[in-house]
Amino acid sequence: MKTKQERTRNFCIIAHIDHGKSTLADRLIEKTGLISKREMTSQVLDKMDLEQERGITIKLQAVRLVYHAKDGEEYYLNLIDTPGHVDFTYEVSRSLAACEGAILIVDATQGIQAQTMANVYLALENDLEIIPVINKIDLPSADPEMARREIEDYIGLPADEAPLISAKEGLNIDDVLEAIVRDVPPPEKKNKEPLRGLIFDSYYDQYKGVVISTRIVDGEIKKGTKIKFYATGKTFEVEEVGIFTSTLTPTNKLESGDVGYICASIKNVADTRVGDTIMDEENPAKEPLPGYKSITPMVYCGIYPADGSKYEDLKEALGKLKLNDASLLYEPETSVALGFGFRCGFLGLLHLEVTQQRIDREYNLDIVTTTPSVIYHVTKTDGSELKVDNPTNLPPVPEISFMEEPFVDANIMLPSEYVGAVMEICQGKRGIYKTMDYIDENRVNLKYEMPLNEIIYDFFDTLKSRTKGYASLDYELLDYRKADLVKLDILLNGEIVDALSFIVHREKAQTRGRQIVKKLKEEIPRQMFEIPIQAAIGGKVIARETVRALRKDVLSKCYGGDITRKKKLLEKQKEGKKKMRQVGKVEVPQEAFTAVLKLDE
């Protein structure tokens, strides 16, 4: 009879988006009988509504499965879910650090994609045993041989015995479970050492306070243990420990090798940083677990209530979102054009979009967001340095000695026929070509170094549309580089609209300026007076359009006509007005603030 620890496997599933991670997780859960098929709503692991709708995994979750293997033993399989998007790379890496093995799903119709590789590298960095699995073999266009070849040739993993499965139809799922038992090493047991637990996730629960997901690496933890978090230095007394089944199930203790949860009346998720080490306050380990990083947002924008009187509601909504999202930053800011609002920091564009949608949907608030910005490093002529995430805070030009912008390493995987088109896009975005390798005879991996501020303007959408959706992208921050950057202001009726200013490379300022004034002309309705729309750099106008004045009284059409029609027209106008922002004398529709983000290059 094997010990409990010999019968434990900690693993996660890694894949490119949409290759079937959540679907396979569901099948594994179903097969091991944790939840009966009838009870199962689809995709248990993706708990948040929005995640289900967008088909992406945002919050990490873990679950313990009990599997009766063919060798007659009963195994405890701890499945740790990982978020599936580039914005959450650090969280993925910490989840992987909680495991000994990873199932690598490759879609048999698509082969290896950018995030397949990004995830493989993360798994290798964490010394995980990788088990390749080829999914979607039920589809007529599936080519399992191609997927196998790519796994062997490009990743360098033997794939002869890779299970060929259909997660959707539940085909060959047993092969995956057996491979986990056979190939993933059991956790090392180090019960005698002082406690060290890795935090790989946490969320706020109304009744229990913060619930921490942890992998106990050394020692043990139980109710009453006084714990200390290494990075934040905060101390708490443990109230409950347990494991994740379909709910939280309390246990007496968690010990070395276990994956489970801890509650300790913690009020603030920011005290429980992903990657931090849980220690025993009375018997602290000498060193924390490796790999802790405090993550900083890369993309910033202003968020304002569309209706100024809803400021307090927006504040409350952000506060609640922050309860479960330690990486969301916000602080009050004011804008001349938009009034009172918040400057918010995000891990990336997807994180921004998801937050925007949650405010809209869960809190039913109409918001206006300003142009997203990256963080620029500015060195002033007096030698001082500052970081600027809001164009409005850029010092006057004569005070700036030079500016630096963040660059990323971008990996783009695509069918070779689109190489020309993609190179053109990258070059247009100031990309610097590095290498091109063949994944197989039809697909290539292109590497570029690119300014992050170009990626946040529509790069991903352009890439997808020019490659019929076949290109996949992954990027990570590389360094900061000097660049000739300028602040582009937009003036309406001669006044700068601060919410529309942004920082751009000088070479692109002219084109962008022209595009924006043109777009704004389409968005801004004619008013009683003529409205000049100008783009300017440091007071010098580089582009201009004019919205001509309304000449006729709109109501004149109905003059003497029937009164209901007139009323309707007035009501319609009133409704239209609600969505308008008053900027100086000019009424600007809310959409205008975001329309400038979607410019065709």
Ligand X SMILES: Nc1nc2c(ncn2[C@@H]2O[C@H](COP(=O)(O)OP(=O)(O)OP(=O)(O)O)[C@@H](O)[C@H]2O)c(=O)[nH]1
Question: Which residue is associated with the tokens 């990083």?
Answer: 293
- What count of residues does the chain have? 601
Q: What 8-state DSSP symbol labels residue 188? A: P
Beta-bridge partners for 489: 536
φ/ψ (deg, to 5) at 14: -120, 145
Closest to ligand X by CB, 84 vs 341, is 84
Minimal distance, residue 17 CB to ligand X, in Å: 4
The reply to whether 22 sits in an annotated binding site is yes
Residues of the shown chain interacting with ligand X in the complex, contacts defined by CB under 6 A: 15, 17-23, 55-57, 84, 135-136, 138-139, 166-168
Radius of gyration of the chain (CA): 27
The reply to whether 138 sits in an annotated binding site is yes
Minimal distance, residue 16 CB to ligand X, in Å: 7
Closest to ligand X by CB, 26 vs 498, is 26
Minimal distance, residue 180 CB to ligand X, in Å: 18
Pairing status of strand 209-218 against strand 220-222? unpaired
φ/ψ (deg, to 5) at 594: -100, -20
Closest to ligand X by CB, 57 vs 371, is 57
∠ at Cα 155 (150, 158), nearest 5°? 80
Neighbours of 287 (CB within 10 A): 10
Closest to ligand X by CB, 17 vs 124, is 17
- For residue 567 the two structure tokens come to 């009323």
SS3 category, 524: coil
CA dist., res. 121 & res. 107, Å (int)? 18
CA dist., res. 327 & res. 307, Å (int)? 27
CA dist., res. 292 & res. 278, Å (int)? 12
| Non-local CB neighbours of 251 within 8 Å, separated by 6+ positions | 241, 242, 243, 260
Minimal distance, residue 164 CB to ligand X, in Å: 10
∠ at Cα 593 (590, 595), nearest 5°? 105
The reply to whether 411 sits in an annotated binding site is no
Closest to ligand X by CB, 101 vs 341, is 101
Cα–Cα distances in angstroms (integers) from residue 301 to residues 86, 295, 333, 362, 454, in the given order: 19, 18, 11, 20, 15
Minimal distance, residue 198 CB to ligand X, in Å: 22
Closest to ligand X by CB, 142 vs 365, is 142
The reply to whether 71 sits in an annotated binding site is no
Minimal distance, residue 467 CB to ligand X, in Å: 19
The reply to whether 319 sits in an annotated binding site is no
Neighbours of 593 (CB within 10 A): 25
The reply to whether 577 sits in an annotated binding site is no
∠ at Cα 470 (469, 475), nearest 5°? 95
**Nearest residue (beta carbon) to ligand X:** 84
CA dist., res. 275 & res. 93, Å (int)? 9
Minimal distance, residue 248 CB to ligand X, in Å: 23
Closest to ligand X by CB, 167 vs 499, is 167
Closest to ligand X by CB, 22 vs 590, is 22
CA dist., res. 443 & res. 465, Å (int)? 18
User: Within a 13 Å sphere around the CA of 530, how many CA atoms are in the beta-carbon half?
Assistant: 6
Closest to ligand X by CB, 24 vs 216, is 24
Closest to ligand X by CB, 42 vs 206, is 42
The reply to whether 320 sits in an annotated binding site is no
Closest CA to 577 of 566, 594, 590: 590
Burial class (CB in 10 A: 0-12, 13-18, 19+), 597: middle
The reply to whether 4 sits in an annotated binding site is no
The reply to whether 20 sits in an annotated binding site is yes
Q: Using H for helix, E for strand and C for coil, what is the string for 480-507?
A: EEEECEEEEEEEECCEECHHHCEEEEHH
Find out whether 582 and 569 touch, Cβ atoms under 8 Å.
no
Closest to ligand X by CB, 40 vs 595, is 40
Minimal distance, residue 104 CB to ligand X, in Å: 12
Minimal distance, residue 100 CB to ligand X, in Å: 21
Minimal distance, residue 23 CB to ligand X, in Å: 3
Minimal distance, residue 12 CB to ligand X, in Å: 12
φ/ψ (deg, to 5) at 525: -70, 155
The reply to whether 539 sits in an annotated binding site is no
| Binding-site residue ranges for GTP | 18-23, 135-138
| Binding-site residue ranges | 18-23, 135-138
